[in-house]
Structure 1
Amino acid sequence: MPAAPARPSFLRAVAVLGATALLVGACSADPTTPDQPDVTQQPAVAVVKAAPPAPVVPVRWPLTGEAAESPVERPALAVKIENPREARPQAGLEQADVVWEQVVEGGISRFVAVFHSQVPAEIGPIRSVRPMDPAIAAPLHGLMAFSGGQPGFVQALGAAGLQIMSQDAGAPGFYRKKGVAPAPHNVYATPQTLWEHADAGHAASPQAQFALARRAEHATAVVSGTPASALDLTLSGYSHPRWSFDTASGTWLRSEGDTPATAASGTRIAAANVVALRVRLVDSGTSDPAGNPVPETVLVDSGDGVVVSRGRSVEVRWSKPSTDAVLTLTTPDGAPVTLVPGSTWVELVPASSGSIAVS
C-alpha cells in the first residue's frame, strides 16, 4: 500500500525541531560560552617614574661662602698682624678670609687676620695680642698665632678655647725676616707649619662667622641697600682707612688715608664686604712697655653700623652675647643680613671718637 501523506501538524513539529537545532548550534559557537577556551587577561603594568637627580650642592668655604674644588679639613688660623707705617706692606694679608681691624695704644691699628681657604707662603709682621682678641677669635675654635702679649691677655686666649701658638713660647713656624723693618717689626711665620702643629682638639674647620648669600645678587646690601662708592673711616687721629668700590672687580679697595694699600706681593688689598661697626672703647687697666694705656674694644655687646657689598650699603645692627658666640648682623627691623661671597673686613670704629661716612 502506498505510504500515507504526512499530516500538516507533524510537518510543523519537524520544522520547529530543525530550527531549534540550528539555534542551539549557533549559540554553541559563541566564544563566551564554557565550550570555548578562556581568554587570559594581562595584568596592569605600573609605570614608575624615576626620581629626579638630587641637585648638586657645591662645597663652600665656611668663612667666605665661595665654592671649593674639594673639602679641606683644617682649622682657622687667626694671626695678629701690625699696621703702623713701618710695618707696611704686610705679607699674606690679601689672602685672608676675614680681617678684623682694631685700635690699640697710641691710636695705631692692628689686625686679626683669619686664614682658612688660602695658604699664603708667609704672613707678617706678627705682633702681640690685645684684650679684645679672645672675643674675635673664640668662635673659630682654631689656632691663634702671635708674638708677645701680657700674661693676662695670653691666658684669656687659652680660656677662650683657642690653641695658642706663640713665637715667644717657641712655637714652630716663626722666624725673624731679614731685609725688612728692624725688630720688633720683623717677626713672620709660615702658615703651613703652624697648621701642621694643630692638636687634635683644634683640627676641625671653623663654622661660618657671618651669614653668606649663595649668590652675590642675593646679598642684603645688593637687594635692599642704597648706592655707595666710598666708605671713609676714622679709627683715631692716626688711623684713617678708606674703601672705594671698584666696578671692574666688584670689590672694595683699601687705602691708608690717601695711599692705596697693597700687600708685599704688590696685590691691592680688596674685600667683597666691609663691615664697619660702632663699638665702645674702654681702658683695659693695663699699659704697654712704654707706659701707654692699652684700650679694649668691647665686643660682648651690641650696637649699630654699616655694611657695604658690591656698590651698595645698608645700615645694620650687631650683637654678640658672649665671648665664644658668633657676632650676628641684622637690619634695623631685625631681618638677618647676608653678605656677598668672598673676603670680609670688619672695621671696629670707636663710637665716641671715630666716624663712619658712606658716600
Structure 2
Amino acid sequence: MRLRFRASRSAVVVLAAAAIGLAGCAGSEPEPLEPEVVTETPEQSVDKTHAPDPQIEEAWPLTGVAGEVAARDVMSVKVENSVAARPQTGLQSADIVWEEMIEGGETRLLAVYHSTVPETIGPIRSLRPMDIPLATPFGGQLIFSGAQRAFLDAAHASPLQILTNDAGAAGFYRSADRRAPHNVYGNTADFIAQGSGDEDVEAAFSYAPEPEFATAVAEGEPTGSLQLSFPNTSPSWTWATDADAWLRSEAGADAMTTDEGRVSAVNVLVLRVEVRTTSYTDPSGSPVPESVVTGSGEAIIATGGHTVSGTWSKDADDAHVQLRTEDGDEVLLAAGNTWVELLPVSGSSVSLN
C-alpha cells in the first residue's frame, strides 16, 4: 500500500533548511535563502455614518412610468366616441383620457398624449367648453376639428397651441373608411413637428412607488367592476387580473381600437361633476352642456381591482385636479395610464360590484 503525504509550506521550508545544513557539513557553501515577502491588502475604509442617496428614476410625468422623458409637447386631442366613431384609432396610447358628456347625453373624449404617441389618432371631432380648462394644465397642443366661435375664441385666448382642421393645420386628413363627419384623422408626426418641444410637463397626479402602495389597493375595497350610466351611454370597466388592468366596455360590448386591441386602464377615476346648459346649440338644435371642472366634488378611485372613495378639486383653469381620500390624505395612483370619467351628479349613476 502506498501512502501519500501532503507537506505544509512550513514543513517544506524546514526540510529545505536541513538539507542545506547537511550540504554545509559536506564542505559546500550554502546559498542564502531569500525570505518570502507576503503583502496583505488592508481593508478599505468604509464610511458607514451616511447612507447612500436613493436612486431616483426618471419617470414620465403623466403616467409615473419610469423612462427617459422625451422633449416633446403634450397633445390633447378631441376624439369622438359615438357608435359611428368606434372603434377608434390610437386611443389606447393616451396617457390620460377624459370622458365628458355632450349634447344628447352621449360622451366625447379628450385624449392626452405624451409618453407614447401613436402614428394616427381619430376620429377627431369638435371642441367643447370644458376641454380648455382640462387641457390647459398640460400645456402643449390642443387639437380638434371645428368649434363654435365662442369656444374657439376661448381656446385661442388660452396658453395652448391650437391646431384645427378648419384652419388648415398640417396633419389632418379624411379617411375613406368612414363617412363624414366621422372621418377626420390626424398624423401625429405632423402635429409634433409644429410644436416647440421645449415645455416642462408637470405631473398630473401622484403615483405610488409600487402598485401595492396605491391608495385604492392599500386602503380600498376589492371591486370587480364599475358600471357607469350617462343619460345616453353606459360604459363599464372590469378588473382583469391577468392583464393587471381595467378593461373597458361600451353598452355591454368590448371597447376596441383599430390598432391596439381592447381599451384598458391602470387607473379609473370617477369624478362627480355639475353639468350646466350653455346658451349654445349644436346643428340639430340640442343645447350644448358644459361639465364644470373647476371646483370640487366626490370621487371614486379604482386601481388594482380595488376602489376607494375620496374627493376631487381643481382650483383654476391652469391647475391640475387634486385627489384626496375622505380623511384628506393625498391619493396615490399606480404607474400607468388613467381614464377619468366626468360623471354628472344628476341623471347619471355609478355602481360597484
Q: TM-score, normalised by structure 1?
A: 0.83
- 1:253 aligns with 247
Match of 1:109 in 2: 107
Equivalent in 295, 306, 315 of residue 309 of structure 2: 315
Q: Output the CA distance in 2 between the equivalents of 1:232 and 1:71.
A: 35
Match in the other structure for 1:212: 207
Distance 1:94 1:140 in 2: 19
Q: Provide the alpha-carbon RMSD of the alignment.
A: 1.5
- Conserved 8 A contact 1:160-1:324: no
Report the equivalent of 1:91. 89
Residue matched to 1:79: 77
Select the residue among 221, 224, 229 that pairs with 1:229. 224
Deviation of the 1:56 alpha carbon: 2.6
In structure 2, do the counterparts of structure 1 residues 56 and 266 end up closer, same or farther at CA, with 3 Å as the change threshold?
closer
- The answer as to whether partners of 1:316 and 1:332 remain within 8 angstroms in 2 is yes
In 2, are the aligned partners of 1:160 and 1:323 still within 8 Å (CA)?
Answer: no
Whole-angstrom distance in 1 between the partners of 2:140 and 2:315: 20
> Which amino acid counterpart does residue 187 of structure 2 have in structure 1?
T
Cα shift at 1:266 = 5.1
Q: How far has the Cα of 1:186 moved from its partner?
A: 0.3
1:64 aligned residue: 63
Matched residue, 2:153: 155
Aligned partner of 2:190 among 193, 199, 204: 193
Gaps of 5+ in 2: 1-44
Counterpart Cα distance in 2 of 1:71 and 1:265: 24
Encode CA deviations 1:90-129: one digit per residue, 9 max, x unaligned.
Answer: 0000110000000101111100000000110100000000
Q: CA–CA distance in 2 between the matches of 1:161 and 1:284?
A: 23
**Does 2:131 align with 1:133?**
yes
Paired letter, 2:266:
A
Which amino acid letter does the alignment assign opposite residue 311 of structure 1? G
Residues 179-228 of structure 1: CA deviation (Å, up to 9, x unaligned): 2x2111000001121011014xx731421111111211111001000010
On the 8 A contact 2:303/2:334 being kept in 1, the answer is yes
The 1:159/1:72 distance shift into structure 2, 3 A limit, reads same
Matched, 1:306 2:306: no
After TM superposition, give the deviation of residue 301 of structure 1 in Å.
1.4
- Give the corresponding residue for 2:339: 345
Q: Distance in 1 between matches of 2:263 and 2:224?
A: 16
2:69, 2:115 within 8 Å by CA — same for their partners in 1?
no
CA distance in 1, matches of 2:198, 2:171: 17
- Cα contact 2:301–2:310 (8 A) shared by 1: yes
Amino acid at match of 1:339: L
Q: What are the ranges of 5 or more consecutive residues in structure 1 without an aligned counterpart?
A: 1-46
Which string of whole-angstrom CA distances, capped at 9 and with x for unpartnered residues, describes residues 13-36 of structure 1?
xxxxxxxxxxxxxxxxxxxxxxxx
Between the aligned residues of both structures, percent identity stands at: 43
Q: Please name the residue that 1:168 is paired with.
A: 166
Aligned partners of 1:340 and 1:48: how far apart in 2?
Answer: 37
| Superposition TM-score, scaled by structure 2 size | 0.85
Amino acid across the alignment from 1:159 = A
- State the 1:48 CA deviation: 7.0
CA distance in 2, matches of 1:48, 1:274: 48
1:293 to 2:287 alignment: yes
Q: CA deviation at 1:71?
A: 2.5
Distance 2:198 2:120 in 1: 20
